[in-house]
Amino acid sequence: MPLLDLFVIASMPVLKVLLLTGLGSLLALDSVNVLGEDARKQINQVVFYVFNPALVGSNLANTITIESMGLLWFMPFNILVTFIVGSALGWMLIKITSPPKHLKGLILGCCAAGNMGNLPLIVIPAICKEKGSPFGSPDVCYTYGIAYASLSMAIGAVYLWSYVYNIIRICSSEINQEVADVDVKANGEAPKLVQENYYNSEELTYGLLLPDNTDSQTNIKTFSRTRIVWDKIKIWTRMISEKLNLKSLFAPSTSGAVVGFVIGVIPQIRTLFIGASAPLRVVEDSAFLVGNAAIPVTTLIVGGNLLKGLKGSGIRFTLIVGILAVRFVLLPLLGIVIVKSAVQFGLVHSDPLYQFILLLQFAVPPAMNIGTMTQLFGTGQNECSVIMLWSYALASVSLTFWSTIFLWMLS
């Protein structure tokens, strides 16, 4: 297929994203105020808790089977590679540019985490519907494309909230701790002493109350050590649970993916929900209907959120250029090498649509949820808005270019 035709096919979904994003920005203007900040927060709650889980769950349930599970195992690994490689490039960018401490977590997060859900959910179906698409029948392409993109969204959410969330949290906590230390020194307050070894009193109590004989003392020491070890295990488990924010790992989209996998993989359950003669097919149809609202509504919200970046911030332009170079130049080039090598060694099956979404995962702009994390920890919100504005503004050119290259490679 001629390269110009591939460019037209690749540009159509990006133009749709631009139109919807522009409409969202227009509706969010103060003079219009249809999609103001409060409205965006409320609608985003509906998207997060209802639309996205319905979209992910219904599409995975309809397309994922036991047989297809063996063919899709590489996608979680591929997304993990994007996070690892992006983190390494982000670390190099930090070493080169020496940014302020409160921006290190934001830079690492923007380089590591891409928009694995919303953009593929828009780009893939739009390409499938274009005449001359290299992915075959539009209906089949759409069905499987949505399933691949839904799986990408679910896995990306797990990595995002387990990895990037904790990077930003750790960097933010270090800054907040430094501020607290400065306040303590300024106010002349002494830090509170913490008793680290609080088990000695219990051991002493056991030793005083029980008879003094060798066997008893041995049993006491054994019991005390066992109790100490068990209490430490419980403390460490609680600390790990709090630090990793396990609740965030099981976000609604992830829960929807789990439900979709269970329905799709277990034949007895699948026959109840999937198919023209399924007794509970109305449930799957309703979930599919609700899920279809996720794509346009999410894009409108993105457009409204990007207005914050127009206000500007004190972030250096070299940092923005560095992040854009990582996400739109270096990662796609490395992605081509990684995915093509996986295909060469037989790790990825020959479906061009599946290979396309693996390549696309290296070329998407930073995840929008990074802005939510910066707001949560109170560091780098303005800088994040500027980064997102530039990233999504230039994504129109970058996504069109790389989508054209990927289609040319796979056609």
**Is the residue at 199 inside a domain?**
no
Q: How many other CB atoms are there within 10 angstroms of residue 182's CB atom?
A: 10
Confidence band for 218, pLDDT divided at 50, 70 and 90: low
Instruction: State the Cα angle at 157 between 169 and 283, rounded to 5°.
Output: 140
Within a domain: 153 = yes
For residue 115, the domain's CATH number is 1.20.1530.20
Residue 206 lies in a domain: no
Neighbouring CB atoms inside 10 A of 232's CB total 11
Reported as a single tens digit per residue, the pLDDT across 92-119 is 999 999 888 888 999 999 999 998 877 8
Burial of 23 (0-12, 13-18, 19+ CB in 10 A): middle
Q: Residue 196 falls within a domain, yes or no? A: no
Q: Would you say residue 256 has pLDDT above 60? A: yes
pLDDT, residue 360, reads 94
Percent of the chain at pLDDT > 70 equals 80
Banded pLDDT at 196 (limits 50, 70, 90): very low
Domain-located, residue 315:
yes
Whether residue 316 lies inside any domain: the answer is yes
Q: Is 222 a member of any domain?
A: no
Q: What is the pLDDT of residues 297-355, one digit of tens each?
A: 878 887 887 887 776 667 888 999 999 999 999 999 999 999 999 999 988 888 899 99
294-300-304 Cα angle (round to 5): 140
The whole-angstrom separation of Cα 136 and Cα 297 is 28
Give the tokens for residue 372. Answer: 């939510």
Closest CA to 218 of 227, 208, 207: 207
Using 50, 70 and 90 to split pLDDT, how confident is the model at 36?
confident
Residue span of the structural domain in which 265 resides: 3-176+241-410
Instruction: Provide the 8-state DSSP code for 328.
Output: I
The structure tokens listed for 93 are: 């960018």
Give yes or no for residue 77 having a pLDDT over 90.
yes
pTM of the model: 0.75
Residue 246 pLDDT: 57
As for how many domains the chain has, the answer is 1
pLDDT at 247: 59
Cα separation values, 182 from 135, 170, 176, 199, Å: 60, 19, 10, 33
For residue 194, the model assigns a pLDDT of: 41
Q: Locate 375 and state its tokens.
A: 């707001």
Asked if the structure places residue 399 within a domain, the reply is yes
Distance in angstroms (rounded) separating the CA atoms of residues 126 and 364: 16
